[in-house]
Amino acid sequence: MLTSSALFHLWKRQVFLRNRHDELSSLLGCSWLHTGIYMIGCADRVVYIGQSNQLSQRSIDSLGRVYHRVPDTWLPWSMAFAPCAYEDMDEYESAAIRAYAPEFNTSVPSLEKSLGRMPVIAGTAQVFADQASPSTAFFPKSVKCQIEEASKNSTPPWIKGKAVPPGDVSAEREQKFDLRDVNTSGQDIFDALSAQRRSEKRLTASTQRPARIKTYIEHKGVEIHIDEVTSSEAGERHLSFEWMAKSYGKVIGSGMEPDKATAATKAIANAEEHLAQPYRFKINLCDDGSVVTRDGEYLGTWEMDDNDHPSFTPDGEAEVLLFEVWIGLLCQKIADWHEAQDQAPT
């Protein structure tokens, strides 16, 4: 179950610049929302389907990636959840992707299992509070229409996404996989990447191997990218592994290693070091209500009103000084105010 504080920070990372609907907040707080399938609907279509053992968090992360790829983001959005056992997720997700052919699903976990059981939706919710009308993606009429269209589509996205142009050595493949237990030794990532490598060999057996194969995972909210890079010198092929860690879109560390296990270990160590820092941003809005600079200087307090709009009150003051609709804008205003205070004559 996602706490209100965790949901708040997860939501603000996505840069939707919109408030979430009460329906979605209530649904994400349900105790049964743990392991299973999630579906993202936009207007009258299901546009993405995924699986996770952390449904609340992964569904919002996926929504953040899909949202900015839709030309008209002001169309009505909705989400649906179908909880199930961990061992059944591949079958349910594969079957749903094959049935709906969502435009942003470019792969199927198992083609064999895609002819299996369909997930049973247990709850749906509108996504944004300012939606003029609810999304109809999960209405029976829309569902029937999309499934019928998908059955007639000879080249659905999950088939197109597997195509690698013959001879295109510059083609880049990127896949994301969900690790439940990542340890600091890097062995879990190494095992998963080894499986990824075997899969890549099967997919590219009849084609020329890409010069770079990109993979990434999430470790405690930090993106860890590990790219397999192939180069040729004097007629010999060389393999190296470039790693990079990103937090809130900012690169916090990178490097190059001769093997994946070492690259994974260094990437995780970099992420852990970053996460151990008490104040990682220019202006930090802490869970206890305090506002602190990167250097640890206490500036005052912040709070959210009933509409999830943040405000800032300087240390020693009783009245709110700065108010904004969005967290990012408030932090920028606080930073500007703090810099002006430092430059003011004493």
pLDDT 10s digits, 116-157:
899 999 899 999 999 888 899 999 999 999 999 998 988 888
66 touches 17 (CB < 8 A): no
Q: How confident is the model at residue 96 (pLDDT cuts 50, 70, 90)?
A: very high
CA distance 317 to 208: 66
Residue with the bigger pLDDT between 234 and 7: it is 7
| Strands 45-52, 77-83: pairing kind | unpaired
Q: Retrieve residue 27's tokens.
A: 């649904």
Q: Residue 82: pLDDT above 70?
A: yes
Residue type, 341: Q
pLDDT of res. 176: 43
> Can you give the three-state secondary structure of 167-192, one letter per residue?
CCCCCEEEEECCCCCCCCCCHHHHHH
Residue with the bigger pLDDT between 223 and 317: it is 317
Q: Say whether 100 sits in a helix, a strand or coil.
A: helix
pLDDT of res. 200: 52
Q: Retrieve residue 308's tokens.
A: 């999830």
Q: Is 201 exposed, middle or buried (0-12, 13-18, 19+ CB in 10 A)?
A: exposed
pLDDT in tens, 254-276: 999 988 888 888 988 988 888 77
Distance of CA 249 to the CA centre of its chain: 11
pTM of the full structure: 0.50
- Tell me what percent of the residues of the chain surpass a pLDDT of 90: 28
**In angstroms, what CA-CA distances link 300 with 2, 5, 177?**
28, 19, 41
The helix or strand, by DSSP H or E, that contains position 53, with its residue range, turns out to be none
Q: In what order do the strands lie in the sheet with 222-233?
A: 172-176, 212-219, 222-233, 236-247, 250-257
Instruction: Fill in the DSSP letter of residue 10.
Output: H
Kindly give the residue spans of alpha helices, DSSP state H, lying in the chain: 4-12, 22-28, 55-67, 89-100, 140-152, 157-160, 187-203, 260-276, 327-343
34 touches 83 (CB < 8 A): yes
